[in-house]
Amino acid sequence: MSVRSELGGALPPAIIFDRIDKRFGAVHANRAIQLAIARGEIHALVGENGAGKSTLMSILFGFYRADSGRILIDGQESRIASPSDAIAYGIGMVHQHFMLVEPMSVADNLLLGHEGGFALGGGRKALLARLDVLARDYDLAIDPDAIVGELPVGLQQRVELLKSLVRDADILVLDEPTAVLTPGEADRLFALLRDLKARGKTIILITHKLREVMAIADRVSVLRQGALVGTYPIAQTHEAALAAAMIGRRVQMPQRADDAPIDTPLLTVQNLSARDARGRIAVMDVSFTLRRGEILGIAGVAGNGQTELLETLAGLRPHERGIVRFTHHDIADASPDDLHALGIRHIPEDRLRYGLVSQFPIWENCLIGADAEESALIDRPAAIDDAAWMMQAYDVRPNNPLLRAGALSGGNQQKLILGREIEQKPQLLLVGQPTRGVDIGAIAFIHHRLLDLRAQGVAILLISVELDEILRLSDRILVMHQGRIAGERRAGETDERDLGLLMAGIA
């Protein structure tokens, strides 16, 4: 049976991927994928990191060219060689990492690539008229003169979505759209997606959050190692079945033991304040202690000071005032090298900016942050062997330490950084967004490793926007709002609704 006939109905599918195949050297990213996306459905695409989801969508949007196969749009074979071609076919893409120019206004961001000629007045006037229509039809009102970098993350995502809607896109691809949203913002996004679907839009949702798949999608397709495992109506599947289909085995999420941490303060922070990249106070009089064998979770909507707090503690950002002590050491102005010498390691939120040198081979990335004396004279064969061992121990795929770090999928990059930092035997681990954009198998693996460290007496400061992650791993939880600590909870005495209210500034 053809992919078209599977769907039935008089209208052709919105998209048919017909035997799409793509290789990157030895990596077979897409293996003759045969898949149809129905007109007017919300279709989820799930799979492990490196399963081929982003490659397939990048081919659809013109970032890559397939080695073989074809794409049919509304039953007609397409010629998509660039994002401009995709936009002309009515395809829009909302990226996980927003493609916005932060110093520019909302209107200027929306006009980019759609200016309407040398004289911008006509294009701007048409844009403003279109924004009025979208505000009325979809409840997507936004100030066109607002500076994008000053908007909260939920409104920045709205700008990304508007970039597609002002171009009358009929097919929308959303990559991890709730990764930086509060539960309330995610609910509002889902309501919007249902409205878009009701008006005939076709939506492809790439996500690792199976609970969201079950809540919003009509059908779900699973990729594994570049191949299509199957496509399932949501009413005929469940989360455990999808997880098993994604990784080929049953997934068991670890649970934090109820044993109490060692009653020894390891990190003491008193009245700490710090500024953001624009010079504004982002962390305001934050105080807490962290004990050995404790995971202290810090929750909050992205942009409320968590990033600046983590970077200040990791020696990447100067503090404005306050006291930071690690055992008996004053570390308020310590450099990353000073912190490493004391046994403090850091898994950064932004793995590409602060965690890896993407153009360097993996084995060289494994040496970042190593003891200066050890790395002064590098035994290259031994370093490559050590990297290969670590890649195997932390399930980094493909296990080839000579590959560029940038060639790894996001989840495998994260496991590489995790392994490098853990193998340095820290006393204190500062962790930012450890499972952002990571599949369920890698999430379980990372959670196991963090809980193993806790059991060994390591203190962990965990910053995450994933409330289920915070609740599962943390002994205590602090919530940040507008740079301050809005409240403290013990993990067993709170829930996502309670934390969500604190994240919104409602005590």
Q: What is the pLDDT of residues 17-35, one digit of tens each?
A: 999 999 988 789 999 999 9
Mean pLDDT of the chain: 89
pLDDT at 302 over 90: no
pLDDT at 99 over 50: yes
Cα gap 414→356, rounded to integer Å: 10
What is the pLDDT at residue 251? 78
Cα gap 166→500, rounded to integer Å: 32
For 427-444, the pLDDT digits (tens) are 999 999 998 878 888 889
Would you place residue 473 in the very low, low, confident or very high pLDDT band (cuts 50, 70, 90)?
very high
Closest residue by Cα to residue 101 from 109, 89, 92, 93:
109
Q: Are 450 and 255 in contact (CB under 8 A)?
A: no
Q: Are 330 and 324 in contact (CB under 8 A)?
A: yes
Strand ranges across the sheet with 42-47: 91-94, 171-175, 202-206, 42-47, 219-224, 227-233
- What average pLDDT score do residues 396-406 get? 90
How many percent of the chain have pLDDT more than 70? 94
Alpha-carbon torsion 218, 174, 479, 338, what sign?
Answer: positive
Residue-range domains of the chain with CATH: 3-247 (3.40.50.300), 252-343+426-507 (3.40.50.300), 361-425 (no CATH)
Q: Any residues with CB less than 8 A from the CB of 249 and at least 6 apart, and which?
A: none
Alpha-carbon torsion 88, 94, 95, 100, what sign?
Answer: positive
CA distances for 424 relative to 369, 370, 429, 463, angstroms: 9, 8, 10, 21
Cα gap 263→459, rounded to integer Å: 11
What is the pLDDT at residue 120? 55
Would you place residue 118 in the very low, low, confident or very high pLDDT band (cuts 50, 70, 90)?
very low
- What average pLDDT score do residues 133-138 get? 84
Closest residue by Cα to residue 49 from 408, 432, 407:
408
pLDDT at 4 over 70: no
What is the pLDDT at residue 111? 87
- What average pLDDT score do residues 130-148 get? 87
How many percent of the chain have pLDDT more than 90? 60
